[in-house]
Chains A and B, each alone.
Chain A
Amino acid sequence: MMEELLFFFEVLLGGLLTGIMYSLVALGLVLIFKASQIFNFAQGAFVLFAALTFVLMLEVGPGFWSWTGWLAVAFALLAAGIWGLRRYTTVLDAPKRYGRTPVVIAALAVVLLPILLDGGQPMWRAIFIVELAFLMLTVGARTPNWAAGVLLGLAAACFFLDGAILWRALAVTLLVMIMMAIAIERIVLRPLVNQEPIILFMAAIGLNFVIEGVAQGVWDADVHALDIGIPDVPIAWLRESLGLFVSIFDVVAAVTAGALVAALAWFFNKTRVGRGLRAVADDHQAALSVGIPLKNIWAVVWSASAIVALFAGLMWGSKLGVQFSISLLAFKALPVILIGGFTSIPGAIIGGLIVGSTEKLFEIYVGIPFFGGGTENWSPYMLGTLFLLVRPQGLFGEKIIERV
Chain B
Amino acid sequence: MLYREAGQFKTTYASDQAIFPIRQDYWFVIGLVAFACVVPPLTGSQYLMGPILTQFLVFGLAALGLNLLTGYAGQISLGTGGFMAVGAYACYNLVLRLPEIPLVASFIISGLFAALVGVLFGLPSLRIKGFYLAVTTLASQFFLLWLFDHVGWFTNHDPAGVASAPQTTFFGRLAEAGGPLDFLEPINVVVSGPRATSEVKYLVTLGVVVVLTLLAKNLVRSATGRAWMAIRDMDIAAEIIGIRPLRTKLIAFAISSFYCGVAGAMYVFTYVGNADTEAFDLIRSFNILFMIIIGGLGSIMGSYLGAAFIVLLPVGLNIFASTVMGGTLSGDVLANLELIVFGGAIIFFLIVEPHGFARLWQIAKEKLRQWPFPY
A and B touch in the complex (CB under 8 A): yes
Establish whether residues B143 and A207, one from each chain, have CB atoms under 8 Å apart when the complex forms.
no
Establish whether residues A210 and B347, one from each chain, have CB atoms under 8 Å apart when the complex forms.
yes
Q: Is A247 an interface residue (CB 8 A)?
A: no
Where chain B touches its partner, the secondary structure class is helix
Please give, as numbers and ranges, the residues of chain A lying within 8 Å of B130 by CB-CB distance.
197
A195 to B333, CA, bound (A): 33
A395 to B185, CA, bound (A): 63
Interface centre among B129, B135, B290 (most CB of A within 10 A): B135
Please give, as numbers and ranges, the residues of chain B lying within 8 Å of A394 by CB-CB distance.
132
Chain B interfacial residues counted at CB < 8 A: 47
A208 to B343, CA, bound (A): 7
Establish whether residues A389 and B143, one from each chain, have CB atoms under 8 Å apart when the complex forms.
no
Residues of chain B in range 46-103 having any CB-CB distance to chain A below 8 Å = 70, 76
Please give, as numbers and ranges, the residues of chain A lying within 8 Å of B128 by CB-CB distance.
385, 388-389, 392
Chain A positions 364 through 404: 1 when the CB is less than 8 Å from some CB of chain B, otherwise 0: 00000001101101100110110011001110000000101
Please give, as numbers and ranges, the residues of chain B lying within 8 Å of A371 by CB-CB distance.
150
Smallest beta-carbon distance B63→chain A, Å? 14
Q: Is A212 an interface residue (CB 8 A)?
A: yes
Smallest beta-carbon distance B124→chain A, Å? 5
Q: Is A188 an interface residue (CB 8 A)?
A: yes
Please give, as numbers and ranges, the residues of chain B lying within 8 Å of A213 by CB-CB distance.
336-340, 342-343
Smallest beta-carbon distance B138→chain A, Å? 5
Smallest beta-carbon distance A64→chain B, Å? 23
Q: Is A342 an interface residue (CB 8 A)?
A: yes
Q: What residue in chain A is nearest B330 (Cβ atoms)?
A: A116
Q: What residue in chain B is nearest A397 (Cβ atoms)?
A: B132
Establish whether residues A331 and B138, one from each chain, have CB atoms under 8 Å apart when the complex forms.
yes
Establish whether residues B339 and A212, one from each chain, have CB atoms under 8 Å apart when the complex forms.
yes
Establish whether residues B136 and A377, one from each chain, have CB atoms under 8 Å apart when the complex forms.
no
Q: Is A35 an interface residue (CB 8 A)?
A: no
Chain B positions 235 through 277: 1 when the CB is less than 8 Å from some CB of chain A, otherwise 0: 0110010000000000000000000000000000000000000
Which of A101, A197, A201, A211 touches B348 (beta carbons < 8 Å)? A101
Establish whether residues B289 and A39, one from each chain, have CB atoms under 8 Å apart when the complex forms.
no
Interface centre among A381, A382, A404 (most CB of B within 10 A): A381
Q: Is B20 an interface residue (CB 8 A)?
A: no
Please give, as numbers and ranges, the residues of chain A lying within 8 Å of B127 by CB-CB distance.
388-389, 392
Smallest beta-carbon distance B193→chain A, Å? 31
Chain B positions 324 through 356: 1 when the CB is less than 8 Å from some CB of chain A, otherwise 0: 000001001100111110111111101110100
Establish whether residues B293 and A384, one from each chain, have CB atoms under 8 Å apart when the complex forms.
no
Establish whether residues A210 and B139, one from each chain, have CB atoms under 8 Å apart when the complex forms.
no
Please give, as numbers and ranges, the residues of chain B lying within 8 Å of A214 by CB-CB distance.
336, 340
Q: Is A191 an interface residue (CB 8 A)?
A: yes
Which of A112, A210, A331, A384 touches B136 (beta carbons < 8 Å)? A384
Establish whether residues B76 and A207, one from each chain, have CB atoms under 8 Å apart when the complex forms.
no
Query: Known interface pairs A192-B354, A207-B347, A210-B347. Does A378 touch B142 (Cβ–Cβ under 8 Å)?
Result: yes
Q: What residue in chain A is nearest B352 (Cβ atoms)?
A: A101
Establish whether residues A216 and B351, one from each chain, have CB atoms under 8 Å apart when the complex forms.
no
Establish whether residues B131 and A39, one from each chain, have CB atoms under 8 Å apart when the complex forms.
yes
A191 to B352, CA, bound (A): 9
A203 to B349, CA, bound (A): 9
Query: Known interface pairs A203-B350, A331-B138, A388-B136. Does A377 touch B131 (Cβ–Cβ under 8 Å)?
Result: no
A198 to B124, CA, bound (A): 20
Which of B76, B132, B150 touches A342 (beta carbons < 8 Å)? B132
Q: Is A335 an interface residue (CB 8 A)?
A: yes
Establish whether residues A385 and B124, one from each chain, have CB atoms under 8 Å apart when the complex forms.
yes
Q: Is B26 an interface residue (CB 8 A)?
A: no
Q: What residue in chain A is nearest B351 (Cβ atoms)?
A: A191
Please give, as numbers and ranges, the residues of chain A lying within 8 Å of B345 by CB-CB distance.
206
A389 to B146, CA, bound (A): 23
Q: Is B176 an interface residue (CB 8 A)?
A: no
Query: Known interface pairs A202-B346, A203-B346, A392-B132. Does A385 touch B336 (Cβ–Cβ under 8 Å)?
Result: no
Residues of chain A in range 307-333 having any CB-CB distance to chain B below 8 Å = 331
Q: Is A4 an interface residue (CB 8 A)?
A: no
Establish whether residues A384 and B350, one from each chain, have CB atoms under 8 Å apart when the complex forms.
no
Establish whether residues B139 and A378, one from each chain, have CB atoms under 8 Å apart when the complex forms.
yes
Establish whether residues A404 and B236, one from each chain, have CB atoms under 8 Å apart when the complex forms.
yes
Q: Is A243 an interface residue (CB 8 A)?
A: no
Q: What residue in chain A is nearest B139 (Cβ atoms)?
A: A381
Please give, as numbers and ranges, the residues of chain B lying within 8 Å of A378 by CB-CB distance.
139, 142-143, 146
Q: Is A205 an interface residue (CB 8 A)?
A: yes
A164 to B352, CA, bound (A): 46
Q: Is B297 an interface residue (CB 8 A)?
A: yes
Establish whether residues B350 and A388, one from each chain, have CB atoms under 8 Å apart when the complex forms.
no
A202 to B345, CA, bound (A): 12
Residues of chain B in range 207-252 having any CB-CB distance to chain A below 8 Å = 236-237, 240
Please give, as numbers and ranges, the residues of chain A lying within 8 Å of B336 by CB-CB distance.
213-214, 216-217
Interface centre among B236, B282, B297, B339 (most CB of A within 10 A): B339
Q: Is A76 an interface residue (CB 8 A)?
A: no
A209 to B314, CA, bound (A): 14
A202 to B342, CA, bound (A): 12
Residues of chain B in range 113-149 having any CB-CB distance to chain A below 8 Å = 124, 127-132, 134-136, 138-139, 142-143, 146, 149
Q: Is B286 an interface residue (CB 8 A)?
A: yes
Establish whether residues B354 and A338, one from each chain, have CB atoms under 8 Å apart when the complex forms.
no
Establish whether residues A116 and B132, one from each chain, have CB atoms under 8 Å apart when the complex forms.
no
Establish whether residues A209 and B136, one from each chain, have CB atoms under 8 Å apart when the complex forms.
no
Smallest beta-carbon distance A42→chain B, Å? 9
Establish whether residues A384 and B332, one from each chain, have CB atoms under 8 Å apart when the complex forms.
no
Q: What residue in chain A is nearest B339 (Cβ atoms)?
A: A213
A298 to B236, CA, bound (A): 31
Smallest beta-carbon distance A356→chain B, Å? 17
Please give, as numbers and ranges, the residues of chain B lying within 8 Å of A335 by CB-CB distance.
135
Q: Is A3 an interface residue (CB 8 A)?
A: no
A378 to B352, CA, bound (A): 36
Q: Is A255 an interface residue (CB 8 A)?
A: no
Query: Known interface pairs A331-B138, A381-B136. Does A199 touch B131 (Cβ–Cβ under 8 Å)?
Result: no
Establish whether residues B136 and A207, one from each chain, have CB atoms under 8 Å apart when the complex forms.
no
Establish whether residues B350 and A206, one from each chain, have CB atoms under 8 Å apart when the complex forms.
yes
12 contacts between A and B (CB under 8 A): A198-B76, A199-B350, A202-B350, A203-B346, A206-B343, A212-B343, A213-B342, A216-B332, A217-B336, A342-B132, A377-B143, A378-B146
Residues of B within 8 A of A (CB): 70, 76, 124, 127-132, 134-136, 138-139, 142-143, 146, 149-150, 236-237, 240, 282, 286, 289-290, 293, 297, 329, 332-333, 336-340, 342-348, 350-352, 354
Excluding A338-B135, A381-B142, 4 further A-B contacts by CB distance (< 8 Å) are A202-B290, A213-B340, A342-B131, A377-B146
- Report the 4 A-B pairs with minimum CB-CB distance, sorted nearest first: A209-B343, A213-B339, A381-B139, A206-B346
